[in-house]
Amino acid sequence: MVDSKSKDEPIVISKAPDSKTADKRKQSLYFPEDMLTDIKREALRQDRSLSWIVQQAWRIARDEIKKFPSINVESDPGSY
């Protein structure tokens, strides 16, 4: 649960520059301030970008997240 007093900070995500499609749209992801601080600290420790850290976290967590029940079972495509 996110504390309503904590300020969420965005990370702006766009497609990788080597992406075959030249989609220039960006997506902002909002993280609680303490979580973003942890991500930044880990990126600095590993000398990696924030994007790389978030991508690795997703790859590690994806199978577990897929186990979560869907809010709307009828429209759940079952894959990403």
The pLDDT tens digits of the residues spanning 37-69 come to: 999 999 999 999 999 999 999 999 999 999 999
Residue 34 lies in a domain: yes
Residue 2 lies in a domain: no
Q: How many domains does the chain have?
A: 1
The CA distance from 29 to 43, in Å, is 17
What is the domain range of residue 59?
A: 27-67
The CA distance from 43 to 39, in Å, is 6
Residue 44 lies in a domain: yes
User: β-pairing, 8-14 with 26-32?
Assistant: antiparallel
pLDDT in tens, 13-29: 666 666 566 566 788 98
With a threshold of 0.75, does the pTM exceed it?
A: no
Residue 11 lies in a domain: no
Residue 9 lies in a domain: no
